[in-house]
Structure 1
Amino acid sequence: MSSRLVALRWYERASTVAYRHYQTAQRYSRLNFIFGLPTVIFATVVGTSVFATLQAKPEFWWQVSVGVMSIAAAILSALQSFLGFNDKAEKHRTAGSRYNMVGRELELWLAQPQEDLGALESIRQRVDALAQESPHIPAGTYSNLPDAEKSLLWKQ
């Protein structure tokens, strides 16, 4: 197999993996928002209610509602911290960015008239290191891939 064909396949893989990492980062950002927004709302309502009821004794249903919101806010906050969606999203964004950097290097390498095998070996080492340090991509991301024939710049 020629080194250009190898570089082209690496480019396709780097593009696909970068796309998957960005999709996963968006997924975790959405989950962080889904858990975070109700937490903020519930905590705000509970905090405001405590100050509003210092002077008067509120009705029983209001006390129960505030208690339930307080418990819900605590549970959502604990889940958000435990599941670490924000950290996971950032790790996937970083991995996607790094795979895109490798993809741009491969584009440049493929555009050169002569083959620099030393540079290609350096790129391979970076791809290997990225594969080891990057977070796992969940299986649900694989179903949302674009058609490689239509989305990749380099075609044979």
Structure 2
Amino acid sequence: MHIKRGREHDGPRSCTMSDADDVHDEVDEDDLSEVGVRESVVGQDERIVDLLIDWKHRVEDRKRAHLLAATRLSARHYQLGVPAVVLSAIVGSTVFASLDTSIELGAKVAVGITSVLAAVLAALQTVLRYAERAEKHRIAAAQYNTIHRHIELSLATRELDALVEEAADIRARIDELETGAPDLTARAWREARQPARSFIGSRAVPSR
């Protein structure tokens, strides 16, 4: 009796060690070097993005600090200016009223003290220059805000290859602004850095 043999299985053949060695030998060394260069470029691009994000955070802190300084200096300007105006008005009206009638010695002393206080407050306002200093801080805050928006726009729209040149331009603008910006107090820095940054650690990397 003849036994009919079944058809042999045509499934995939298992890969042996010798086959793996053959495949490994077929890999071109130029391909390996190209992969390494590509990985290096990607790493550099990611570092540029991280650097710009760090600058964005620093610029935002400086903008907030200058706004706080401007608000505080403006308040001091009014704290000196309003009393000076009020006291000057009181002295002027009292002197004008005393032209027709004689006033007592106590009233004269009070008027003299009031006029001296008004002059002192006006002199302090002139020397301390609160209004002028507040305006300088407002201008610096606006300039830092412009750079902040520029960095955000660059991260959102620029390709990674263009961010290198963009970073150099942004760095030059920050250096120039820091040279001419008014000094900040330690209190302004401390208050500016208090708000928590919920966006730290989350960033969108532009596509190549």
Tell me which amino acid in the other structure corresponds to 2:106: W
Query: What's the CA shift string for 1:82-132, capped at 9, x where partnerless?
Result: 011111000000000000000000000110251322222111110000010
1:147 aligns with 2:207: no
> Alignment partner for residue 21 of structure 1, among 66, 76, 101?
66
Larger radius of gyration between Structure 1 and Structure 2: 2
Match among 52, 58, 64 for residue 97 of structure 2: 52
**1:83 correspondence with 2:103:** no
- State the alpha-carbon separation in 1 of the partners of residues 101 and 139 from structure 2: 52
Matches of 2:201 and 2:98 in 1, distance apart? 66
CA distance in 2, matches of 1:62, 1:155: 69
Aligned to 1:96: 141
Task: Name the structure, 1 or 2, with higher relative contact order (CA <8 Å, separation 6+).
Answer: 1
Cα distance in 2 for partners of 1:10, 1:154 equals 14
**AA of the residue aligned to 1:124:** R
Q: Which of 84, 98, 102 does residue 39 from structure 1 map onto? A: 84
Correspondence for 1:70: 115
Please give the alpha-carbon distance, in whole angstroms, between the structure 1 residues aligned to 2:175 and 2:107: 58
Tell me the TM-score normalized by structure 1: 0.93
SS in 1 for 2:197: helix
**Deviations 1:13-50, CA, capped at 9 Å, x for gaps:** 00000000000000100110111111000000011111
2:169 aligned residue: 122
Structure 2: gaps (5+ residues):
1-43, 204-208
TM-score when normalising by structure 2:
0.71
Please identify, of 99-108 and 119-128, the stretch whose mean Cα deviation from structure 2 is larger: 119-128
Equivalent in 121, 138, 149 of residue 185 of structure 2: 138
Q: Which stretches of structure 1, 4 residues or longer, exceed 4 Å deviation after superposition?
A: none
Q: How many residues align?
A: 155
